[in-house]
Amino acid sequence: MATSTVLKQTRPAPTPREIDALVETFEEVRDNAELADEAYQNASLELIDLVNKFGFVPAGAESSVRLQGAITVLTVTTGSSVTVKDSEVGKLKGAMDANKLSDLFSRMFTAHSKYKLVKGAATQLHVAQLPQRLADKLTQLYARCFDVKTKSPSLKVERLADAKKPRAKKGGH
């Protein structure tokens, strides 16, 4: 049986016009924020371009480029990430094992298992026809296998078909 949470009423419910006025304010703020974000991104790209064209590589920071103004210092750092290709590592491991180089391989890679929760997993222990004590023990262990984190609430605002309002265009027009 589903339960619902009743929110504590601190004021009377808004009228449809009050709701629409709040949505108008929300949409104006959202549109202004999107335009400001675009301006911020453009300014950031311009600074990155300046640093990359006229900057220098600081000593000991080969992945960075720096440009100095009278009162500011700009540093652009380009990061990288490494993705291990499991299938290729498996081939290398096989070749090293075949050549009795397992010790060398273990100095290069460690194995880590990664599990994903399968849809419907919660019902599997109930339908598995296990002895009760074993089922209880496995259920306890299963409950420790993951954390459930509550996400922030999201808001979706839609206009009724006959009340469509054009949104501000990115680019300032």
The CA-atom distances, in angstroms, between 151 and each of 120, 154, 169, 170 are 21, 9, 30, 29
Same domain, 19 and 76: yes
Q: Is the dihedral of CA 59, 60, 63, 68 positive or negative?
A: negative
Query: What is the residue-averaged pLDDT of the chain?
Result: 86
Amino acid occupying residue 133? R
Number of domains in the chain: 3
Same domain, 62 and 22: yes
Separation between Cα atoms, residue 23 and residue 158, nearest integer Å: 9
CB 78, CB 63: distance < 8 Å: yes
Supply φ then ψ for residue 32, to 5 degrees: -65, -40
Same domain, 58 and 109: no
Over residues 20-42, mean pLDDT: 95
- What is the residue range of 122's domain? 115-145
Q: Is 95 domain-assigned?
A: yes
Whole-number percent of the chain with pLDDT over 70: 87
Separation between Cα atoms, residue 96 and residue 104, nearest integer Å: 8
Same domain, 55 and 94: no
Count of beta carbons in the 10 Å neighbourhood of residue 125:
15
Q: What is the pLDDT of residues 9-30, one digit of tens each?
A: 688 999 999 999 999 999 999 9
User: DSSP state, 7?
Assistant: P
Q: What is the pLDDT of residues 102-154, one digit of tens each?
A: 998 999 999 888 888 888 888 888 888 888 998 888 889 888 888 888 888 77
pLDDT at 73 over 90: yes
Q: Give me the residue label for tokens 């290069």.
A: 108
- 6 falls in which pLDDT band (50, 70, 90)? low
Task: Say what the pLDDT of residue 164 is.
Answer: 63
Q: Look at 46-55, 62-71, 99-108, 114-123 and tell me which has the smallest mean pLDDT.
A: 114-123
Q: Is 3 domain-assigned?
A: no
